[in-house]
Structure 1
């Protein structure tokens, strides 16, 4: 019976690893296509190298390119200018890690002193592109896999993503799989721990062991399929939790950086099953997305937040609520009617509802941009969440009615460190302000970060543990009532 149980686990682990490998290859193809498109567009420019007109053209290319963090010019193996940095002191490149024809590749870890890190720089002719450091984030939400993206001959590693958990590197207890693209010179090599029957819950293991021969084989298979992982168990329970109104909400305050004035709250969901500890949103939010429950979660959070906070949002200078959403949440035909209806029923003004769109993929779902435009016409406001990661870029500001961006926390943590990413936040802030966009900076945790942000991003709105922890609705309402919109609010 234990042999049967182990066989079932073996099959499930193989299927899961194969799915991750295919997802990595698909993302590699998308990034490769985006790079070629950006490079080709930049090469078509006829302006003088690194002239003001040329840099403006580079910015247009960068803004229109997903998964690219920068596009620039190179001459005689020197970086001369880019969309993000403008003209720079010529930076001498070392010998490339990999070359094929006119294409040359460098890992940015070898470009000491350059403004790039954690990614790749690819030069073609007089143009170079830099892919986003987070291009391959989110492909394994559980983060139990280690994978690399390499050339077919394994002579160059584009990206390496390491599992978050400390697992054994013993090859006998791991499963490895590789998949190669038919469209690009890229292969995915995935490694993840192989589960054994000893990893099952003790009660389940004892039950399997004690079952009789014929009945035991059948029941052990069913028990494992039912308990194939804690994650699958959570899926069913999460669906019930939404129906039973068990998902609670907390509200993290948003303050102006320059004078610490309360302007709004981000609404965050929390799940603590009865009799158990809290389950991280990092687990159940991706799970809802994979189950097709993302839109249900968005509607649940929006309607519950409006019910809980409506009284605190009344009156002049009242704060707004910021709700997280996925592009797919905007795709359904009844989205506009639902959002407008629950907001009106709560007695809240549309411009007091901000919807943060998390762009893990392009806005390609049918109807997304049209529905967003319809909501924007009613007064609702949209921001790009986690800006600077994945596929988020300034081009989407032209495609959809975004009025601002939320800069990801990894760029905040970098501003007080000796990091290649240190100049990124000031650069994005300046570009956003020139475009007339609102800027929210998340993840402010230290006084040093706060002091520096007051200098480099004074008109931004800040969010983080230093400014205020997420609090229940009652405490958030007290914060809102204590704020009169004229004087800076000091958190007691």
Structure 2
């Protein structure tokens, strides 16, 4: 389905009615809200996966360390006499060679370290501080922060019975290096789930933040671009009862430096502009209009307004013309010529006409039933008039009401070039059933007198271009004089459209007193509620005068 060039140009003009504010709002939303938040969430998603890998990798290493520590503490001396003996040293050294996460192993007695593989036999037994934690199994744990005098490093160490084991300082250095450099703004805590004590706080994060995060429930708000938000992950090993809580304390866009943020801001503005252009293309032009027109017809959004028709000699309202009106939320008030012409070109006019007729009868039936001299004129295209079953549709439409068929005036517009023979046959058939045929816009279109003789209409409507020509010395003015002279000899009801001034009214009242007038001089088109109020007022005034 296509539309012609004239209609296309009209649609382009119609697009100017689309408010700039909608485009501005879309630009602001896409550039400053949607895409920044989307990018923020994408970065979080990426780092969430990285945070998981980071946590699991450290937990795997920690559980291996935990296993090796437990294994080392099982190497108990047979008795006190063998502590730090040559055979004892050999046994401990073999263990260090086997487990690379163990940095040193020694012997303790009465709270003092006697010897270790790395330091040998101490000249004076080293007094150990009170352990930070004593597990239910009797394992002693020293955090060993800032206590280099114990084993010349700050690695945690463990003790049980007469054995003490130190975690390798190389592992601890690698652990800290990985936590601070490879995962900036990442950090966490390594702890025992069943004993509830902390082995190590690591990474680019404070203990206060970790303690705050431990009991903080997950929330969708944590993923939004709000300052000071963080995400966390907890992983536990069920065998060793070791857990690790890892935290990313700078999320999404907050991780980026100013150069990256400026570049992304520019990119977002460009994307926003592109979205506006694409959206403008989508919501404008013929494609949008066709979509909206189809929806308007389908959902019965094209509504009637009514312009009264009056007897010129006394200004009495004797009927109305039903005019189709369409106000679209996006396109605004669409000109009737545009959407009716488009409906004809797109093959939608029959559906539109049927729904329009049903709506007119539904709104106007009380007035038509109460006043048998009152009529309604409805503009119809030649396409629906020549439809074989149109007369059956009209019969079904009128069946619920007590309306005479001669109160229905079917207006045929001359702008069509429909086959004269089929139009003649259709109008004759409808006339025989009692409907009144009106030749609309007389004087324009493809023919004049030819249509007048072919259709034999009940009513002749003189186009407003002739009505309004009386104030100028134009061809139309001379044509109007000819029309006025001609209708003196025609047995038709004549309606002058487009009467807008007192001068026009007085001229037609003088030249054709039995004619009917229609135009802004009397009334503009109006919704049914206003029409009924005017008719009620006119009826009341008539009753008072009587």
Under a length normalisation based on structure 2, what TM-score does the superposition of the two structures give? Answer: 0.49
Contact 1:351 1:379 in 2 (8 A): yes
Aligned counterpart in structure 2 of residue 338 of structure 1, from 388, 393, 402? 393
Aligned counterpart in structure 2 of residue 428 of structure 1, from 450, 475, 483? 483
Give the drift of 1:456.
2.0
Give the drift of 1:256.
1.0
Find out whether 1:475 has 2:526 as its counterpart: no
Distance 1:390 1:256 in 2: 27
Find out whether 1:288 has 2:343 as its counterpart: yes
Give the drift of 1:439.
0.7
Aligned counterpart in structure 2 of residue 383 of structure 1, from 425, 429, 438? 438
Aligned counterpart in structure 1 of residue 408 of structure 2, from 353, 356, 378? 353
Distance 1:489 1:235 in 2: 51
Distance 1:478 1:485, change over 3 A: closer
- What is the CA deviation profile of residues 412-466 of structure 1, one whole-angstrom value per residue up to 9, with x for unaligned ones? 1111223232132232133133121111111111111111111222221000111
- Name the counterpart of 2:177: none
- Name the counterpart of 1:413: 468
Distance 2:330 2:416 in 1: 37
Aligned counterpart in structure 1 of residue 429 of structure 2, from 365, 368, 374? 374
- Name the counterpart of 1:444: 499
Find out whether 1:268 has 2:323 as its counterpart: yes
Distance 1:476 1:357 in 2: 24
> 4+ residue runs of structure 1 moved beyond 6 angstroms?
200-211, 219-225, 485-490
- Name the counterpart of 1:257: 312
- What is the CA deviation profile of residues 239-297 of structure 1, one whole-angstrom value per residue up to 9, with x for unaligned ones? 21222222221110000112111111000111122476322213212211111111222
Distance 1:266 1:164, change over 3 A: same
- Name the counterpart of 1:305: 360
- Name the counterpart of 1:277: 332
- What is the CA deviation profile of residues 322-366 of structure 1, one whole-angstrom value per residue up to 9, with x for unaligned ones? 001111121221111001221232321111110111121333178
Distance 1:203 1:282, change over 3 A: farther
- What is the CA deviation profile of residues 73-132 of structure 1, one whole-angstrom value per residue up to 9, with x for unaligned ones? xxxxxxxxxxxxxxxxxxxxxxxxxxxxxxxxxxxxxxxxxxxxxxxxxxxxxxxxxxxx
- Name the counterpart of 2:518: 463
Aligned counterpart in structure 2 of residue 234 of structure 1, from 289, 292, 313? 289
Distance 1:458 1:426 in 2: 15
Report the aligned-residue RMSD: 4.0
Q: Secondary structure at the match of 2:418?
A: coil
Distance 1:390 1:254, change over 3 A: same
Contact 2:372 2:407 in 1 (8 A): no
More helix by share: 2
Contact 1:254 1:462 in 2 (8 A): yes
Q: Which has the higher contact order (CA 8 A, sep 6+)?
A: 1
Q: Secondary structure at the match of 1:415?
A: helix
Distance 1:223 1:389, change over 3 A: same
- What is the CA deviation profile of residues 44-99 of structure 1, one whole-angstrom value per residue up to 9, with x for unaligned ones? xxxxxxxxxxxxxxxxxxxxxxxxxxxxxxxxxxxxxxxxxxxxxxxxxxxxxxxx
Distance 1:389 1:320 in 2: 25
Distance 1:256 1:377, change over 3 A: same
Aligned counterpart in structure 1 of residue 453 of structure 2, from 398, 415, 425? 398
Contact 1:249 1:269 in 2 (8 A): yes
- Name the counterpart of 1:130: none
Greater Rg over alpha carbons, structure: 2
Count of equivalent residues:
303
Distance 2:497 2:10 in 1: 26
Contact 2:363 2:528 in 1 (8 A): yes
What are the equivalent positions in structure 2 for 1:97-116 lying under 5 Å apart?
A: none
What are the equivalent positions in structure 2 for 1:185-196 lying under 5 Å apart?
A: none
Distance 1:316 1:267, change over 3 A: closer
Q: Secondary structure at the match of 2:494?
A: strand
What are the equivalent positions in structure 2 for 1:29-108 lying under 5 Å apart?
A: none
Distance 1:397 1:204, change over 3 A: farther
Q: Secondary structure at the match of 2:419?
A: coil
- Name the counterpart of 1:76: none
Task: Give 5+ residue unaligned stretches, structure 2.
Answer: 15-21, 32-265
Distance 2:514 2:541 in 1: 16
Distance 1:485 1:441, change over 3 A: farther
